[in-house]
Chains A and B, each alone.
Chain A
Amino acid sequence: MEEQKTDIGIDEQQEYLINMGPQHPSTHGVLRLLVSLKGEIVKNVEPHIGYIHRGIEKMCESITYPQIIHLTDRMDYLSAHINNEAVCLNIEKALEVDIPDRIKVIRTIMSELTRIQSHQLFWSTFGMDLGGLTCFFYGLRDREKILDIFEETCGSRMIVSYNCPGGLMYDIHPNFQERVKAFLKYFRKTLPEYDQLLTGNVIFRQRTEGIGRLSLKDAISFGVTGPTARASGFSCDVRIHEPYSAYDRVKFNEVLFNEGDTFHRYLVRMDEIRESMDIVEQLIDNIPEGPFAVKMKPVIKLPEGEYYQSVETARGELGVYIISDGNKNPYRVKFRSPNFVNLSALNMMTKDFKIADLVAISGSLDLIIPDIDR
């Protein structure tokens, strides 16, 4: 610890440094936060990242376009399907392929199911960060049902790799619609349990209300997106502002709050679960007939140029930026990952709060470390 070189100017007399991570229960992975504390009060948080850096962007330069999709699963593994979709949409846009409605609708349903399971896991781990261990099991109990649906249709539970350029890997399972409807019916009943266990709890409210306020101005200037920004009143939902897939044909509200504290970041996600359920409900009975994939060339080559597509993952805006020189490999790929940007606001939000609040705030950002490091 003594040799730790940092550019934080800490007051040696009053403050001390503590390493939260890379192995720490509440960082949900291998994030390392170098925290300078004065007693219990957080004075500075310096995130040190790169412990799970795999060079995904660099790897993309040496593999073909369909292969890139499988790498994006490993970024934000809880929004795996949405990440895949982003790359596919970008490739399809570049090739100017017309995508049949059936594919769009199935992609949207899968994306929303992915969002629901991601927010369920957020709820579980957020409860756990605050010391309510029971939440974890309640959340996982319901998440399992979605993963079962994924398993049946995609063959894989979490890292689905269901998309391919031009459509989907395979058609949906015959049981898909029935099971999704059964799940919605079940989850509408169990979702109030989440509120009973956590949302209404006095201790929970005390721990989260007014903690880690992020103002609208700061949210915009830090480039924060997703539920974290929407809790501060920043209307940034890509699904609404630049609708892709089938989002232009469904009705749903963007959940917005103005308070910007930890509690409202939590509430946004809880309400988004309900919105996502509404979206799935609108689409599940109206899956049009048609092919599940468009026939593409065996070797996909993007025409020379730059392509960008952003989607709304469970954590914010994921941008996929591809520069192509006309080869079968991209010249350069850049992912604008929401977690990396959201993490940058952590220091400002935690200043002068207690160490226990640091855990609550970083929990409410819902960080996925592999997405930060890539």
Chain B
Amino acid sequence: MPFNIYDFTSLTQWIDTGLRNAMSPFWTVVIEMLIVGVLILLFYAVIGLFLVYAERKVCAFMQNRLGPNRVGPFGMFQTIADLIKLLLVELVPIKNADKLLFNLAPFIVIIASFMAIAAIPFAKGLHAIDLNIGVFYIVAVSAMGVIGILLAGWSSNNKYSLIGAMRSGAQIVSYELSVGLSLITIVILAGSMQLSEIVMAQADGWFIFKGHIPAFIAFVIFLVASTAETNRGPFDLAEAESELTAGYHTEYSGIKFAFFFLAEYMNMFIVASIAATVFLGGWMPFHVGHWSGFNNIMDFIPPFIWYIAKTFFVIFLMMWFKWTFPRLRIDQLLTLEWKYLLPINLVNVLIMAFIVLMGWHF
């Protein structure tokens, strides 16, 4: 079995040829889809559980606490215990709720995040689907989650939920623009929307370093806008615990609530992955100019580790602001987007286009 930790292409090809030799092309595709689906599902669950644990630990350390430390070593199984509890807890039926939409909403939210994860390159060759419009696909698919949130708020027959959902709708639709534009800045630099090519183009330097100041500005804007888009941190107006009790998922219980909860963490993981892939070089190791010795040491670290480390760095940043800043008000949130981020972003795209046109980038 040709297993190479630095390049998964040979492994996937080996599986593919093996299957093709054993059965008809149709069944090969079916089996491959099944394998990919199960792997992503497992990955999704494991990362989701881990992120919940990580957030609790990170926030605990920022708040002078210990965090979960009873179940398992360092409380590692706490989230699993919580998940079991959520699975077993009663689903409370809501009076006068729109049953169909109420039950559909968590699935829309979770499917949106599930679809986005398929297009993310985890390592060389470890990529469920390498679309030639990868960036566009992820932005489009992750925006779908807002439909679920709106439906959840609408169908719950609860005013708090409705306010939360409406806030979330306004927020996500606005910040989608900034996310898109900051990614476009890098797409201009890379000259491609295909995520694997974007990563390959960063072999000699990550875009955040290659793209002068515009790339850095785009990174900061992306970080802010994506935090807002995932309803986290200082932008968690959609759930705004102290105002709306729990916002759009006030009426949800048990596994349906767990879906929202998991989707929130996975959305955070997805935006962090995009930030890592597009700005920080994805699975590319860190290289400095002509220091071949240093570069060789960096190459020795497997790409998957690079990818995870960068993603978790971005996730840590997002957790950091969540646990430091107070929450914005809805009008301030929209002011920030429409009056500051969007104009800056538009100018930034122009500057980047000019730099690329003149060939001033590295």
Complexed CA–CA distance, A40 and B326 (Å):
19
Chain B 159-172, CB within 8 Å of chain A: the 1/0 string? Answer: 11001000100000
Chain A 128-165, CB within 8 Å of chain B: the 1/0 string? Answer: 11111110111001000000000000000000000000
Q: Is B106 in the interface zone, CB < 8 Å from A?
A: no
| A201: chain B residues within 8 A (beta carbon) | 325-326
Complexed CA–CA distance, A17 and B331 (Å):
21
| B160: chain A residues within 8 A (beta carbon) | 18
Complexed CA–CA distance, A73 and B143 (Å):
53
Q: Is B197 in the interface zone, CB < 8 Å from A?
A: no
| B63: chain A residues within 8 A (beta carbon) | 133-134, 136-138
| B241: chain A residues within 8 A (beta carbon) | 25, 131
Complexed CA–CA distance, A206 and B65 (Å):
29
| B326: chain A residues within 8 A (beta carbon) | 127, 130-132, 198, 201, 203-204, 207
Chain B 303-335, CB within 8 Å of chain A: the 1/0 string? Answer: 000000000000000000001111111111000
Q: Is A16 in the interface zone, CB < 8 Å from B?
A: yes
Q: Is A296 in the interface zone, CB < 8 Å from B?
A: no
Near A by CB (< 8 A), chain B positions 50-84 give 59, 62-65
Given contacts A16-B159, A25-B242, A26-B242, contact A141 B325 (CB under 8 A): no
Q: Are A203 and B245 in contact (CB under 8 A)?
A: no
| A18: chain B residues within 8 A (beta carbon) | 159-160
Q: Is A356 in the interface zone, CB < 8 Å from B?
A: yes
Q: Is A197 in the interface zone, CB < 8 Å from B?
A: yes
Q: Is A239 in the interface zone, CB < 8 Å from B?
A: no
Most A Cβ at <10 Å: residue of B234, B242, B323, B331 = B242
Chain B 234-248, CB within 8 Å of chain A: the 1/0 string? Answer: 101100111101000
Contact among A26, A129, A207 for B328, CB-based, below 8 A = A207
Total interface residues on B, using CB and 8 Å? 27
CB of A168 to closest CB in B, whole Å? 33
Q: Are A134 and B330 in contact (CB under 8 A)?
A: no
Complexed CA–CA distance, A44 and B62 (Å):
38
Identify 27 residue pairs between A and B in the complex whose beta-carbon atoms are under 8 Å apart, listed by A's number: A16-B159, A18-B159, A18-B160, A25-B242, A25-B245, A26-B242, A128-B242, A131-B242, A131-B327, A132-B326, A132-B327, A133-B59, A134-B62, A134-B63, A137-B65, A198-B326, A201-B326, A203-B328, A206-B329, A206-B332, A207-B326, A207-B327, A355-B163, A356-B237, A356-B243, A356-B330, A357-B329
| B167: chain A residues within 8 A (beta carbon) | 40
| B65: chain A residues within 8 A (beta carbon) | 137
Q: Are A141 and B324 in contact (CB under 8 A)?
A: no
Contact among B240, B323, B328 for A133, CB-based, below 8 A = B323
Looking at chain B's contact residues, the main secondary structure is: helix
Given A24-B245, A206-B329, A356-B330, 9 new contacts (CB under 8 A)? A26-B243, A128-B242, A131-B242, A131-B326, A132-B326, A206-B332, A207-B328, A354-B329, A356-B240
Q: Are B242 and A203 in contact (CB under 8 A)?
A: no
Q: Is A359 in the interface zone, CB < 8 Å from B?
A: yes
Near B by CB (< 8 A), chain A positions 94-133 give 127-133
| B59: chain A residues within 8 A (beta carbon) | 133-134
Binding site for A on B (CB under 8 A): 59, 62-65, 159-160, 163, 167, 234, 236-237, 240-243, 245, 323-332
| B331: chain A residues within 8 A (beta carbon) | 354
Q: Are B64 and A203 in contact (CB under 8 A)?
A: no
CB-CB nearest 4 A-B residue pairs: A131-B327, A137-B63, A132-B326, A130-B326
Near B by CB (< 8 A), chain A positions 323-362 give 354-357, 359
Q: Are B330 and A40 in contact (CB under 8 A)?
A: yes
CB of B297 to closest CB in A, whole Å? 38
| A197: chain B residues within 8 A (beta carbon) | 324
| B245: chain A residues within 8 A (beta carbon) | 24-25
CB of B165 to closest CB in A, whole Å? 13
Complexed CA–CA distance, A350 and B289 (Å):
59
| B332: chain A residues within 8 A (beta carbon) | 203, 206-207
Complexed CA–CA distance, A26 and B59 (Å):
21
Q: Are A137 and B64 in contact (CB under 8 A)?
A: yes
Complexed CA–CA distance, A207 and B335 (Å):
13
Given contacts A131-B240, A133-B63, A137-B63, contact A40 B163 (CB under 8 A): yes
Complexed CA–CA distance, A203 and B62 (Å):
19
Given contacts A16-B159, A130-B327, contact A359 B234 (CB under 8 A): no
Complexed CA–CA distance, A197 and B237 (Å):
20
Q: Are B234 and A129 in contact (CB under 8 A)?
A: no
| A136: chain B residues within 8 A (beta carbon) | 63
Near B by CB (< 8 A), chain A positions 169-225 give 197-198, 201, 203-204, 206-207
Q: Which residue of A lies closest to B335 (CB)?
A: A206
| B324: chain A residues within 8 A (beta carbon) | 132, 134, 197
| A198: chain B residues within 8 A (beta carbon) | 326
| A356: chain B residues within 8 A (beta carbon) | 237, 240, 243, 327, 329-330
| A355: chain B residues within 8 A (beta carbon) | 163, 243
Q: Are B243 and A359 in contact (CB under 8 A)?
A: yes
Complexed CA–CA distance, A137 and B328 (Å):
21
Q: Are A206 and B64 in contact (CB under 8 A)?
A: no
Q: Which residue of B lies closest to A135 (CB)?
A: B326
Q: Which residue of B lies closest to A133 (CB)?
A: B323
